[in-house]
Structure 1
């Protein structure tokens, strides 16, 4: 990816000066929703393929085949519906994971053959009041399926993956999965995680178990009292404050300094996150007893000065914990694949708190987040920015930390905790957009919806790092759905989606007002509360490899599920104002809204 004329091989925060032109000089690509070209190493470029997903929403819900049976369960109901709806043999469908929120139960399924799952042919169902309210699918009709018995050994496959991806296999257990190719043929693959500690690369490699070829990859990298920059602020000039006991014990029942083992920590490590420099043991210790972390940042000194480093580790620790707590309140919990060292017996996979490497030496002028499957730690890397003297620290710009952490939320919730479902160009672009939109949400301090600018501090430029401010004004930000057709880079595409969500937020706040307690009280009726509920609810509803269209439909259905469709017209009008109306398709704008709106 391109950032300040430097090429990155992972999906990073990515930068575009506000003065640059947003439209790329290449034509629209019909592959946005199914493909993505990845420069994996200097010598290896792979065009990954993901079967096109379909998405259907059913308003108040459809009856399903096993609805009235006394022995009805989620697995049986989901498999029965999918097999009947797609006219396929039930033996070719299996339940992979399930999740539940306060309104909807979700089933995430895979296509299978001979009991072996397909990696990239998946489906998801949502049930409300024992009715089906949405169905997403990327199941295929295979033209040819390889033998289920490998002819290439796992050892040889590991060697091939390590050589191709310039890394080493980690200790995650490899799996055997089928992989659907573009011609609808299906190959058998060894699935192996490959990491490079020097570059921070972290891939899931799919190695043909009969030819030894690397056929595809998943890139997991996307890009007490504490003296911190409060989360509703963006840049250091707004001032550090000492916040006492900011943890939300409804989301972090043993506080931020306990890993579920019964003993408290006295450094920047806990159940949700550990922040460090160089090694996970290189944390910041409390400045005085009683969980006091008070370090005064000195902008005239280098970021590496001890007080500045401690301030950065403390600020990142506070921010990631805070995002954990408010997203937990709104549905990103143990059973919906969040990041925690201990899940306190509440379900889901644990031992996966976020690891934040502050002032990481692997890069500059950027940041990234790696999202492996549920049960493996998310990894955030915050780099220094060398555009000023002294350099500036990305861990001290709140919107960058929130942006990166949100990659973990969206990659885990979309598709049921695999980390595999935002890999196409369009879905990856929306991933960047959700991350900007979450940062935008955290920094609103009143019902006034001002234009929002990302990344002012690190580059010392009030125009920030995006091509336009996020705005309800088309003269300030002209991006619409049709802009996607002229763009071929995920961060530029992300700006289109983030600006749409900025407009949705403004419409909801205009309609319902604004709550100052939204981060700790998700039960309000105010517009910012509604917005975050729909934001997270829609992630679980949408299909793997979503598009702008299916993500929009997931928001509409999320409103039907939680609010009985009370915001249907508000949402449609906001999306349509940026070209994503009822008849929008193929990156062609449409301003139509449903009858009655």
Structure 2
């Protein structure tokens, strides 16, 4: 979600979300990392609860119960380690998903009772390629009581209840039966039902008590050839459109951007994305033969003018495909739960390209991204902005598109493709921060790290939509970890995390230099290459609903996995410079770094 935070006002630009029980009362610091208050349909307010996640990192790795086996199975190894580490019966541990990446192998697991999984009691284990465990995250619980495993509320009644409360309709995605841990330490049995209302921007996963037919919780999935476009390194239309020829990376998109390997198109639709206005049949067609999409925006007339609609659909299609391609190079692949219709037998679930609704009539001064589980399409909606005359189109501001697209990446890669694991206030806030940080990364063209401003074009303000530019200067941007003591809204929290990452990026580029080919060559040693590897590697390592502390630790461990800890001190000094040093906790700063740094 991008919000208009200049002068601490809040105009929502996107709602970004996906997805040891402790009894109340909770301290403010604990609730920050375990709860989220949501304003739902028809004035309904619901505070959702998520068991706190523990996170351990093990440097070069530790042994697990199957270490002595030759080529042990990932699934079996993860179940055995989780059972042993938590002291639970391995029969209560179920493997959900996993994959092997360049730097580590990842397994994602669920706690079960009588064969029924817990929705919010999950674990993730990472193994290095020496078959040692390098990190372990867990929100497994020991419930005080567990509801009977046979539902007494029929599914049709639960669907009717969810539709009524949430002002939407069941979207026919198959419901599931799962346990959900509640704040009082009990485990309730729930029918889990997806409810959508596209016009109202509602797409949630409702947990309806399977014995009482009451709403218990929700997962909010919404994160409020030749192409004439803004190149990905540019932010706003005034930077200048260009005509790019064959920008697709065929390593990441082997059939190009307009084919799924079987069916080819001459419109803004393909394997990774489809850009339309109003309906998915309302596409931009090639302006001339051979997949030319050359439409020149006219800024002096309304964005709804046909040429401007075509320019917007073309630009959005280009940016989403470009982000797909460079993040693919860095690990957001089919097996790691990315967005593609055809996964080419490389793992993960297909039929989930990003749908991009340009100039959506559902709202103004906004944009959002819905991230359901792997196998269902990510949904981006771009709105018009009404603060200027003529109005301006968010689909023509690249930082907004990249921000929204990144919600899909962070929600898919955290927690193993469920879309459920950035649901607390703190984790949701970091989701906003990662999205700004990715937009920041895309626009760098040299080793210089100037201050970065979000959202200048749509509001026609040089200061953009954030309270401060992202900066290495504490005078220009004073935000630090302890700032969270006075911030409890996800966009405000996101500014803190994005500014910390801006400083991490600057430190790595200062140490290792800059690669001009980073988007297509992830094999370099330059700082911007290292940064994006660690950015994505850490997402896969961190636990469900991470905190600033566990996310920082995931970056440190990611460096061990990929670079043998070569950047340890650079990372620690950068985090500590903004209060996230070794002793940081409960939103209290620390500038301490480990010995040797």
Q: TM-score range by the shorter chain?
A: over 0.9
User: Are 1:112 and 2:101 matched, yes or no?
Assistant: no
| TM-fit CA distance, 1:29 | 4.4
Which residue does 2:402 correspond to in 1? Answer: 402
CA contact (8 A) 2:303 2:392 kept: yes
In 2, Cα distance between the equivalents of 1:238 and 1:187?
54
Which residue does 1:42 correspond to in 2? Answer: 42
Q: How does 1:204-353 map to 2 (within 5 A)?
A: 204-261=205-262, 263-353=263-353
Which residue does 1:391 correspond to in 2? Answer: 391
User: Are 1:197 and 2:186 matched, yes or no?
Assistant: no
Q: Secondary structure at the match of 1:437?
A: helix
In 1, Cα distance between the equivalents of 2:61 and 2:8?
47
| TM-fit CA distance, 1:183 | 1.6
Which residue does 1:24 correspond to in 2? Answer: none
State TM-score, norm by structure 2: 0.96
Which residue does 2:19 correspond to in 1? Answer: none
In 2, Cα distance between the equivalents of 1:525 and 1:560?
15
| TM-fit CA distance, 1:41 | 1.5
CA contact (8 A) 2:415 2:540 kept: yes
| TM-fit CA distance, 1:20 | 5.7
In 2, Cα distance between the equivalents of 1:259 and 1:216?
37
* Segment of structure 1 superposing worse, 392-401 or 479-488: 479-488
| TM-fit CA distance, 1:490 | 0.2
In 2, Cα distance between the equivalents of 1:146 and 1:295?
59
CA contact (8 A) 2:3 2:466 kept: no
Which residue does 1:6 correspond to in 2? Answer: none
Which residue does 1:504 correspond to in 2? Answer: 504
Q: Deviations over 1:330-356 (max 9, x none)?
A: 000000000001001111100000000
In 2, Cα distance between the equivalents of 1:182 and 1:88?
21
In 1, Cα distance between the equivalents of 2:59 and 2:594?
14
In 1, Cα distance between the equivalents of 2:523 and 2:72?
32
Which residue does 1:17 correspond to in 2? Answer: 6
CA contact (8 A) 2:268 2:314 kept: yes
Q: Deviations over 1:229-287 (max 9, x none)?
A: 000000111100000000000000000000222x3200000000000000011010000
Which residue does 1:548 correspond to in 2? Answer: 548
In 2, Cα distance between the equivalents of 1:184 and 1:415?
22
| TM-fit CA distance, 1:67 | 1.1
Instruction: Give the superposed CA RMSD.
Output: 1.2
Structure 1: give runs of 5+ residues left out of the alignment.
1-11, 22-26
Q: Deviations over 1:432-476 (max 9, x none)?
A: 000000000000111000000000000000100000000000000
Q: Deviations over 1:177-230 (max 9, x none)?
A: 000011210000000000012212100000000000010000000120100000
Q: Secondary structure at the match of 1:33?
A: helix
Give the direction of change, closer, same or farther, for the CA distance of 1:431–1:307 in structure 2 (3 Å limit). same
CA contact (8 A) 2:227 2:294 kept: yes
CA contact (8 A) 1:260 1:341 kept: no
In 2, Cα distance between the equivalents of 1:59 and 1:86?
20
Which residue does 2:20 correspond to in 1? Answer: none
In 1, Cα distance between the equivalents of 2:557 and 2:537?
9
CA contact (8 A) 1:206 1:215 kept: yes
CA contact (8 A) 1:28 1:487 kept: no
Q: Deviations over 1:101-143 (max 9, x none)?
A: 1121000000000010000000000000200000000001111
In 2, Cα distance between the equivalents of 1:33 and 1:42?
27
Q: How does 1:78-97 map to 2 (within 5 A)?
A: 78-97=78-97
In 2, Cα distance between the equivalents of 1:20 and 1:151?
47
In 2, Cα distance between the equivalents of 1:71 and 1:583?
38
State TM-score, norm by structure 1: 0.96
In 2, Cα distance between the equivalents of 1:17 and 1:214?
36
Q: How many residues align?
A: 581
Q: Deviations over 1:298-334 (max 9, x none)?
A: 0000000000000000000000000000000000000
In 1, Cα distance between the equivalents of 2:42 and 2:212?
23
CA contact (8 A) 1:64 1:81 kept: yes
In 2, Cα distance between the equivalents of 1:203 and 1:385?
26
Q: Secondary structure at the match of 1:32?
A: helix
Q: Deviations over 1:481-529 (max 9, x none)?
A: 0111211100000000000000000000000000000000000000000
Structure 2: give runs of 5+ residues left out of the alignment.
11-26
Which residue does 2:425 correspond to in 1? Answer: 425
CA contact (8 A) 1:144 1:186 kept: yes
Give the direction of change, closer, same or farther, for the CA distance of 1:304–1:139 in structure 2 (3 Å limit). same
